[in-house]
């Protein structure tokens, strides 16, 4: 069976709650085995189109399907069963965190296979092959000299590795069509490069198979112990012509793979459709006007007058070098259209350093990890400083301290020479602005307009002036049509534009932007940076935290590279781009334009100083393009490549923040862990029931002792258990006090002390103590259960032996996996809302008045409500995204489900249950009997 032919006819779609259409009369055909790029401005409906391909629209996501149809091999997606569609067409989304469902690599890859009812016996081979394909092979399956160590826990994987894991999950199911929806948008440059390298390698493999249909199976399969060779052979043949559909703003990384490029316009129409040569060379200006970034190779082709794109980086570099030699382009700088964006020297010197860090460190209280250590830094007015570095290098923390959002744990932050904590809060809010990486955390208004108005509250303007400035900001951010929309309903790019627009409204002195251009198309990036540059020209200090080195090279006056909390480089972008060791140690990669020039120089050419895309686009072609372009193949043979550039293999750290023992001992496997989780759960519930019949302190104490001993036999030291129980114990003892002072007084019980409703009796103390101990020992048994039970096995077992519907089981597992992250999110939300001034009453001199006091009080009550609303919003957004990703992996429309892991019931399990019951009952009877004996003589 071959990859299906996809026919989209006249497709028009409108999202719920939007008047504007998202896709407008899109008609496309994607042939079997074709490789297509879909580009276009942000909000052009690219992602919606992707969701239509495998039936997630309309099966899982509701839209207004205005007209048209999507046919897979001649059958409409609306009539095909969803499970069938997602099996054949696999999709990879942007955010790795919104796609990983289970907590270990194997389980997560198996999730998709289980949903398709693949026999469990076949799974290990399929998983191993998929892991190998994406470079995440098990440590035991690797050669001894391989340096890469892969942690099995998903949480320990870096972003790029997690994205490759999701890709492996798709590949294991062997889809006929692979849809990649901006798969690297959330990754740092090296993470992105590894993902693309994996995709390219996969397709390379496909290409060889394309030529070799019918040949015996590959090595990996031959080695597999599977006896279902026949079915795998059949799948393998199908694999031969897998189609690829990529959605991207930046085409550079995928260009060599493509057969065709489709560009959508702002209204969701197909604006351009053709071969990469046709689109990127033939329609150069049109592509640009659509806000789509031109690949660097297309610029080279434009310069050299070639009618076809280079096929590799070396080819492009050689052509570029040749071109510079032929035209004798001087090595002097390119004409600068706006010199003030590059240097401040031509301006009157602005006074003094604006913000200075003096030996500043920041240590996280919970983890005791130093995010920033001993940084000294001075930022002057009119500087546009970029902070770059790998994920977790401390960039955001440094930015937060520069904006006065968090206080360093050591060292001083000085604003114009004054320690920042002495600057009045109002001044701080006016002069410093921080734009968070996740715009959602910072929204305070219910509509786009209200959110912008909130930003102007500090300025105390009249309504007319506010309206004028908000209108202006809406126009600049290109959000005019969405003024009444809720900020949370915007697309990623629009959300970011809104948060930046809000920060720019008040004209701050220091502006810190965390990843301002994530998910932005070319047009909006340029617009945003123009606005920032405008502020900088007025003397603002802008600090941009980013992974986009092209942006850095194009706009920054200075760049700071961080690694493990320290600054390891402070200089100009050009200097950074020349330094390989620093780039490598910061997980950075030279951006395409700079890489081109660098390679050309390595080939012995003298090139103009090209550091970013814009430099390249400003060069003027000297060979007329009308003279009939010659292909690269002709010009290439002029000269052999002098020196093949040393290919340094890209190695992204696979794990992140993993302690050394993360790869050490395997999963614990003690007698208690081997018990069936459902049986264990039953014992826990049974103990809970018995607990409600306990009214003396002795029984729970004895039970606690039993639990401690049992824990000890499984290698959990009693001390560790006690430490984990600490918070619960502290809380349980508050029960002791309330009962001791408030319990009802039995007949004849002497009152030792009385004050108002409070009275102390021996009975009350005993009662309180037994309640407290009840709490502690139930918590202890719950804790022991959690410590010795694998959550996935618990769910599998509850599905098999406990009649739990599998939908609930997996929804719970997925939710359980991302819940811990929400605690960090809450911290971020609090910070972000403080920056937006949500917890400060506004400063119109209402302090000391009744109205002010009331408003502060109301604020105090509504704040937790507001935080809860945002936390739930963020959690629900994540959950719904994850739900779509789960459906994309076949969770919707399951006909037969299998299970990769099993939790068998063994004869030892009933024995365990009965023994536990008898032992607990014995303890109960004995201790109750002892407790009945009068130990307090009645007075």
Nearest to residue 399, comparing CAs of 807, 705, 835?
A: 835
Please tell me what DSSP assigns to residue 31: -
Q: Which is nearer to another protein, 507 or 782 (CB)?
A: 782
Could you give the CA distance from residue 283 to residue 271 in angstroms, rounded to a whole number?
11
Query: CB of residue 578 vs another protein: minimum separation in angstroms?
Result: 46
CA 560/CA 565 separation, integer angstroms:
12
Judged by CB under 8 A, the chain residues 699 through 738 that form the site for another protein are 725, 727-728, 731-732, 734-735, 737-738
Instruction: Tell me which of 215, 723, 844, 869 binds another protein, using CB under 8 A.
Output: 869
Return the SS3 of 387: strand
How many residues touch another protein under the rule CB under 8 A: the total is 95
By the 8 A CB rule, do 470 and 456 touch? Answer: yes
Q: Which of residues 572-591 bind another protein (CB under 8 A)?
A: none
Closest approach of another protein to the CB of residue 924, in Å: 15
Strand partners, 514: 545
Any alpha helices (H) in 262-404, and if so which ranges? 276-277, 284-289, 296-304, 313-327, 395-402
Q: Which of 741, 769, 912, 924 binds another protein (CB under 8 A)?
A: 741
Determine phi and psi for 561, rounding to 5 degrees: -105, 135
Closest approach, Cβ 81 to another protein, in A, equals 8
Of 294, 474, 691, 711, the residue at the interface with another protein (CB under 8 A) is 691
* Triad 808, 812, 817: Cα angle to 5°: 155
Task: Find the binder of another protein among 628, 689, 748, 934 (CB under 8 A).
Answer: 689
To another protein, the closest distance from the beta carbon of 746 in angstroms equals 9
Of 184, 190, 245, 26, nearest to 653 by C-alpha is 190
CB closer to another protein, 693 vs 850 = 693
User: What does the block give as tokens for 439?
Assistant: 């715009």
Q: How far is the CB of 694 from another protein (least distance, A)?
A: 11
Q: Determine contact, residues 903/678, Cβ cutoff 8 Å.
A: yes
Choose which of 398, 886, 920, 923 interacts with another protein (CB under 8 A): 886
Question: Among residue numbers 399 through 458, which ones bind another protein (CB under 8 A)?
Answer: 446
Q: Answer left, alpha or beta for residue 849, where phi above 0 means left and psi between -120 and 50 means alpha.
A: beta
Q: Name which of 237 and 686 has its Cβ closer to another protein.
A: 686
Q: Which of 1, 76, 872, 926 binds another protein (CB under 8 A)?
A: 872
Contact stretch for another protein (CB under 8 A) within 309-317, 627-635, 667-675, 870-878: 870-878
Q: Which is nearer to another protein, 60 or 525 (CB)?
A: 60
- How far apart are the C-alpha atoms of 193 and 588, rounded to whole Å? 10
Cβ at position 705, least distance to another protein in Å: 17
Question: Shortest distance, CB of residue 929 to another protein, whole angstroms?
Answer: 21
**Residue 331: C-alpha distances to residues 322, 326, 553, 609, 610 (Å):** 14, 13, 18, 7, 10
φ, ψ (nearest 5 deg) of residue 814: -65, -45
Q: Give residues 473-532 in contact with another protein (rule: CB under 8 A).
A: 482, 484-489
Q: Which is nearer to another protein, 134 or 716 (CB)?
A: 716
Say how far apart CA 222 and CA 239 lie, in whole Å. Answer: 16
Beta strands 63-72 and 75-76, pairing class = antiparallel
Q: Within positions 92 to 151, which residues make up the interface with another protein, using CB under 8 A?
A: 117, 119-121
For another protein, give the closer residue by CB, 24 or 548: 24
Find the binder of another protein among 221, 537, 871, 908 (CB under 8 A): 871
Stretch 190-229 residues interacting with another protein (CB under 8 A): none
Q: Which token pair is 137? A: 């092979």
Tokens of 233: 């052979």
What are the residues whose beta carbons fall under 8 Å from the beta carbon of 132, sequence distance 6 or more? Answer: 141, 220
Q: For residue 211, what are the contacts with CB-CB under 8 A and spacing of at least 6?
A: none
Q: Smaller CB distance to another protein: residue 662 or 685? A: 685
157 DSSP β-pair partners: 655
Residue 538 to residue 340: CA distance in whole angstroms: 11
For 678-797, strand residue ranges (E) read 753-755, 758-760
Q: Which is nearer to another protein, 689 or 850 (CB)?
A: 689
Decide whether 88 or 774 has the Cβ nearer to another protein: 774
List all residues 6 or more positions away from 164 whose beta carbon is below 8 Å from its beta carbon: 134, 135, 136, 194, 195, 198
- To another protein, the closest distance from the beta carbon of 755 in angstroms equals 12
Per CB under 8 A, the segment of 174-182, 364-372, 553-561, 816-824 that binds another protein is 816-824
Binder of another protein out of 875, 908, 913, 931 (CB under 8 A): 875
Binding mask 45-64 for another protein (x = CB under 8 A): -------------xxxxx--
Reported as half-sphere exposure (CB side, CA atoms, 13 A), residue 677 has a value of 20
Question: Minimum distance from CB of 883 to another protein (Å)?
Answer: 4
x/- track of binding to another protein for residues 889-918 (CB under 8 A): --xxxxxxxxx--xxx--------------
Scanning 143-151, 205-213, 243-251, 766-774 for contacts with another protein by CB under 8 A, the matching segment is: 766-774
Q: Which position among 807, 828, 841, 859 is part of the footprint of another protein (CB under 8 A)?
A: 807
d(CA 659, CA 652): 17
Q: What is the DSSP string of 829-885?
A: HHHHHHHTTTTS---SS-TTSHHHHHHHHHHHHHHHHHHHHHHHHHHHHHHHHHHHH
- Residue 671 or 808 having the CB closest to another protein: 808
Min dist. Cβ of residue 365 to another protein (A): 19
Least separation in angstroms between CB 852 and another protein: 25
For another protein, which is the closer residue by CB, 317 or 485? 485
Q: Applying CB under 8 A, which of residues 808, 842, 849, 929 lies at the interface with another protein?
A: 808
Identify the CA nearest to 375 among candidates 365, 367, 385, 366: 385
Select the residue interacting with another protein from 388, 772, 784, 832 (CB under 8 A): 772
User: Out of 6, 287, 360, 779, which residue is the one contacting another protein (CB under 8 A)?
Assistant: 779
* 938 phi and psi angles, rounded to 5 deg: -65, 135
Q: Which of residues 9-48 bind another protein (CB under 8 A)?
A: 16-19
**Shortest separation between residue 816's beta carbon and another protein, angstroms:** 7
Q: Which of residues 819-838 bind another protein (CB under 8 A)?
A: 819, 822
DSSP one-letter code for 481? G
379 has which bridge partners? 355
Q: Which is nearer to another protein, 609 or 805 (CB)?
A: 805
Closest CA to 603 of 591, 592, 611, 595: 595
Pick between residue 619 and residue 781 the one whose CB is nearest to another protein.
781
Helices (H), 505-548: 522-537
HSE toward the beta carbon, residue 351, CA cutoff 13 A: 3
Location of structure tokens 């395409």? 592
Check binding of 609 to another protein (CB under 8 A): no
Site residues for another protein, window 75-94 (CB under 8 A)?
81-82
Kindly write out the interface string for residues 839-868 of this chain, putting x where it contacts another protein by CB under 8 A and - elsewhere. --------------------------x--x
Angle made by CA atoms 728, 730, 731, in degrees to the nearest 5 = 65
Contact residue for another protein among 757, 845, 848, 907 (CB under 8 A): 757
The rounded distance, in Å, linking the Cα atoms of 541 and 399 is 12
Could you tell me the smallest distance in angstroms from the CB atom of residue 170 to another protein?
Answer: 18
Cβ proximity to another protein: between 449 and 558 the closer is 449
Q: How far is the CB of 771 from another protein (least distance, A)?
A: 8
Which residue from 685, 705, 751, 827 is in contact with another protein, where contact means CB under 8 A?
Answer: 685
- CA neighbor of 603 nearest in space, from 328, 323, 327: 323
Length of the chain (residues): 939
């Amino acid at each position: 069976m071959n990859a299906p032919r996809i026919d989209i006819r006249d497709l028009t779609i409108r999202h719920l709650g939007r008047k504007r259409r998202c896709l407008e009369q899109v008609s496309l055909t994607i042939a079997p085995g074709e490789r297509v790029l879909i580009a276009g401005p942000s909000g052009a409906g690219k992602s919606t189109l992707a969701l239509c391909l495998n039936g997630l629209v309309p099966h899982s996501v509701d839209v207004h399907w205005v007209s048209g149809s999507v046919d897979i091999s001649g059958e409409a997606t609306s009539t095909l069963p969803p499970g069938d569609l997602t099996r054949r067409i696999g999709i990879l989304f942007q955010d790795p965190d919104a796609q990983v469902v289970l907590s270990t690599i194997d389980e997560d890859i198996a999730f998709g296979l289980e949903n398709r009812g693949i026999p469990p016996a076949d799974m290990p081979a399929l998983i191993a092959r998929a892991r190998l394909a994406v470079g995440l092979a098990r440590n035991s399956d690797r050669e001894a000299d391989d340096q890469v160590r892969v942690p099995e826990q998903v949480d320990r994987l870096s972003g790029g590795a997690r994205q490759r894991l999701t890709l492996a999950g798709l590949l294991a199911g062997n889809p006929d069509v692979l849809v990649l929806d901006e798969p690297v948008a959330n990754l740092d440059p090296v993470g992105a490069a590894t993902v693309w390298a994996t995709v390219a390698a996969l397709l390379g493999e496909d290409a060889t198979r394309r030529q070799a249909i019918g040949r015996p199976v590959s090595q990996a399969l031959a080695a597999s112990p599977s006896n279902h060779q026949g079915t795998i052979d059949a799948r393998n043949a199908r694999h031969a012509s897998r189609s690829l559909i990529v959605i991207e703003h930046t085409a550079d990384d995928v260009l060599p793979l493509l057969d065709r490029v489709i560009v959508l316009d702002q209204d969701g129409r197909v604006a351009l459709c053709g071969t990469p040569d046709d689109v990127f060379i033939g329609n150069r200006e049109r592509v640009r006007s659509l806000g789509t970034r031109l690949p660097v190779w297309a610029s080279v082709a434009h310069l050299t007058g070639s009618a076809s794109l280079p096929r590799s980086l070396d080819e492009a570099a050689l052509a570029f070098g040749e071109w510079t030699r032929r035209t004798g382009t001087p090595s002097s700088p390119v004409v600068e259209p706006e010199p003030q964006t590059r240097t401040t020297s031509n301006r009157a010197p602005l006074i003094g350093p604006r913000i200075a860090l003096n030996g500043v460190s920041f240590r996280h209280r919970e983890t005791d990890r130093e995010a920033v250590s001993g940084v000294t830094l001075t930022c002057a007015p009119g500087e546009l400083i970029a902070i770059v570095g790998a994920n977790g290098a401390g960039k955001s923390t440094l930015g937060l301290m520069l904006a006065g959002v968090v206080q360093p744990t050591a060292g001083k932050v000085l604003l114009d020479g004054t320690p920042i904590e002495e600057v009045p809060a109002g001044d701080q809010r006016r002069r410093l602005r921080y734009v968070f990486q996740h715009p959602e955390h910072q929204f305070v208004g219910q509509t786009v307009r209200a959110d912008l108005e909130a930003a102007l509250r500090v300025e105390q303007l009249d309504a007319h002036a506010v309206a004028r400035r908000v209108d202006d900001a809406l126009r600049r951010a290109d959000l005019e049509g969405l003024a009444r929309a809720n900020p949370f309903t915007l697309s990623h790019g629009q959300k970011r534009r809104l948060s930046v627009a809000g920060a720019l409204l008040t004209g701050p002195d220091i502006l810190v932007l965390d990843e301002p251009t994530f998910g932005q198309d070319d047009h909006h990036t340029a617009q945003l940076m123009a606005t920032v540059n405008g502020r900088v020209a007025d003397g603002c200090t802008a600090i941009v935290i980013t992974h986009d080195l092209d942006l850095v090279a194009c706009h920054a006056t200075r760049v700071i590279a961080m690694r493990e909390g320290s600054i390891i480089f402070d200089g100009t972008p050009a200097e950074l781009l020349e330094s390989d060791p620093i780039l490598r140690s910061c997980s950075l990669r030279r951006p395409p334009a700079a890489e081109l020039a660098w390679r050309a120089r390595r080939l012995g050419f003298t090139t103009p100083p090209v550091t970013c895309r814009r430099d390249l686009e400003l060069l003027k072609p000297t060979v007329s393009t009308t003279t009939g372009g010659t292909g690269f193949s002709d010009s290439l043979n002029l000269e052999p490549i002098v020196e093949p550039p040393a290919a340094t293999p890209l190695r992204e750290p696979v794990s992140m923040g993993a302690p050394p023992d993360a790869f050490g001992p395997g999963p614990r496997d003690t007698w208690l862990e081997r018990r069936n989780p459902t049986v264990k759960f039953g014992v826990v519930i049974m103990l809970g029931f018995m607990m409600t019949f306990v009214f003396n302190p002795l029984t729970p104490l004895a039970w606690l002792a039993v639990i401690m001993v049992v824990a000890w036999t499984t290698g959990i030291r009693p001390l560790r258990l006690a430490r984990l129980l600490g918070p619960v114990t502290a809380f349980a003892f508050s029960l002791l006090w309330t009962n001791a002072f408030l319990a009802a007084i039995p007949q004849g019980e002497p009152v030792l002390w009385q004050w108002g409703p409070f009275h102390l009796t021996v009975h009350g103390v005993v009662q309180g103590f037994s309640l407290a101990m009840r709490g502690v020992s139930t918590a202890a048994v719950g804790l022991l259960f959690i410590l010795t039970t694998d959550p996935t096995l618990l769910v599998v077992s509850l599905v098999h032996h406990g009649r739990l519907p599998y939908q609930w089981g997996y929804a719970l597992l997925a939710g359980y996996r991302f819940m811990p992250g929400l605690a960090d999110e809450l911290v971020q939300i609090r910070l972000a809302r403080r920056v937006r001034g949500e917890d400060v009453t506004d400063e119109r001199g209402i302090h000391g008045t009744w109205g002010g006091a009331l408003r502060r009080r109301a604020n105090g009550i509504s704040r937790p409500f507001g935080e809860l609303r945002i936390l739930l919003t963020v959690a629900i957004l994540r959950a719904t995204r994850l739900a779509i990703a789960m459906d994309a992996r076949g969770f919707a429309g399951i006909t037969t489900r299998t299970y990769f892991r099993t939790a068998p019931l063994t004869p030892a399990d009933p024995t365990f249950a009965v023994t536990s019951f008898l032992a607990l009952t014995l303890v109960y009877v004995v201790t109750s009997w002892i407790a009945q004996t009068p130990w307090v003589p009645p007075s």
